[in-house]
Structure 1
Amino acid sequence: MKTYIAFLRGINVSGKNKVPMAELKELLVDQELKEVKTYIQSGNVLFKSEWDNTKELEKLLSAAILDHFKFNIPVIVKTVEQVKEILNQNPFKTDDENLQKQNYFVLLNNWPIQDDIEKLTLEAYANEEFLVTNNCVYLKCNVGYGKAKLNNNLIERKLNVLATTRNYRTMNKMLALSN
């Protein structure tokens, strides 16, 4: 049985797409997922499954949420190993807690095409640094994500993929929960 982390996009934001975590947990247990744990209201779920395919798990979770809550929520599922790799490859890695707060991870559901990556890489955004990889855009927001021009929606448009963004603390917490 493998351990996975699911990141739901766009739930419990400004009163829209309300998904109570206890109800989500129960729904996922009903989908035969094991040891389901949620973390904060933004849709972070740790679980175990016999399934071996993250794309099929994404479809399962999205379909269950649509059926139960009646709205479509994109879901990105990563293995614990993939999350470790994303954290280890962070080009903005630091031990300084104040600087860690500037680190964001834009998780991509599919690999963007190389042309789109190259076009985005040529762009510059004031007070922001970024690196695009096949499964994540590493984002350092020197004045905070709330003021970032290169946000989740813009990255989705520029790279033609679905994405969801998490901060450094959440990514590390999900990894810690997996142990």
Structure 2
Amino acid sequence: MPTYVAFLRAINLGPNRKFAKADIVAATEAAGGTDVLTHINTGNVRLTSPLRSRPKVEAALEEAYLAQAGFAVPAIVYTPAELRAIAADARELTASPPDRERHYVYLLKDEPDPARVVELEARSDEANAAVVRRRAVHVLLGPGYQAGGVDPFTCEKALQVVATNRNFNVVTTLADKWCS
């Protein structure tokens, strides 16, 4: 059975959208997932599934999460190879000058429109950059970034896609831990 890594959007952000790890595991199993693992309580899930297409996995998870949590939980799913590629891109982009203080990765449910990608990347400057690679946007923040300002580029809105973000450490850790 294929393995997938799912990133859940907009959970555990406030008092009304709590979705505990145990509930995530139970719902993932109810969706047909096996060998379910989670990493920190921000909606990172590894699973195997008899389903063989990303859209079918996403739909099954979202239906089960809605039933378990009582609110819609978008799931953004990658194969291990896709997540390894995102982590490799993250490492490459972080290693190249100029030095960045923060690196966030926006994980996209769908491929963005190429014209919107051009518009988003054009907002980059010498201190901050947005780099789109396939279904991921790397937001590289330089000196003086506004603490807590994860997305000065408003990636999700600019690309008009469903997205969730994780920091560089979470993306690379999960790729190393779950996708080798």
* Fold agreement, TM-score > 0.5: yes
Q: What amino acid sits opposite 1:93 in the alignment?
A: T
Give unpaired runs (5+ residues) of structure 2. none
- Kindly indicate whether residue 139 of structure 2 is the aligned counterpart of residue 139 of structure 1: yes
The unaligned stretches of length 5 or more in structure 1 are: none
Q: CA deviation at 1:89?
A: 2.1
2:119 aligned residue: 119
Counterpart in the other structure of 1:38: 38
- What does 1:15-164 correspond to in 2, within 5 Å? 15-90=15-90, 91-94=92-95, 102-124=102-124, 127-142=127-142, 143=145, 146-150=148-152, 154-164=154-164
Q: What amino acid does structure 1 have at the position aligned with 2:61?
A: L
CA positional deviation for 1:149? 4.6
1:133 Cα shift? 2.4
Cα distance in structure 2, aligned partners of 1:21 and 1:149? 26
> CA distance change for structure 1 residues 101 and 47 in 2, over 3 Å: closer, same or farther?
farther
Secondary structure (helix, strand or coil) at the match of 2:41 reads coil
Q: Give the CA deviation at 1:55.
A: 1.1
Identity %: 25
Give the 3 Å change call, closer, same or farther, for CA 4–128 of structure 1 in structure 2: same
Partners of 1:110 and 1:35 lie apart in 2 by: 26
Distance (whole Å) between structure 2 residues aligned to residue 104 and residue 47 of structure 1: 24
Q: CA deviation at 1:100?
A: 8.0
Give the aligned residue type for 2:77: V
Encode CA deviations 1:84-118: one digit per residue, 9 max, x unaligned: 011112342339xxx68622111111111111111
Q: Deviations over 1:23-77 (max 9, x none)?
A: 2102211222111011111100011112111111111111111122111111100
**Contact conserved, 1:104 with 1:168, CA < 8 A, in 2?**
yes
Mean CA deviation greater in 126-135 or 22-31: 126-135
State the aligned residue count.
174
Shift >3 Å, 4+ stretches: 124-127
TM-score by length of 1: 0.87
Distance 2:176 2:117 in 1: 31
Give the alignment's TM-score, normalised by structure 2: 0.87
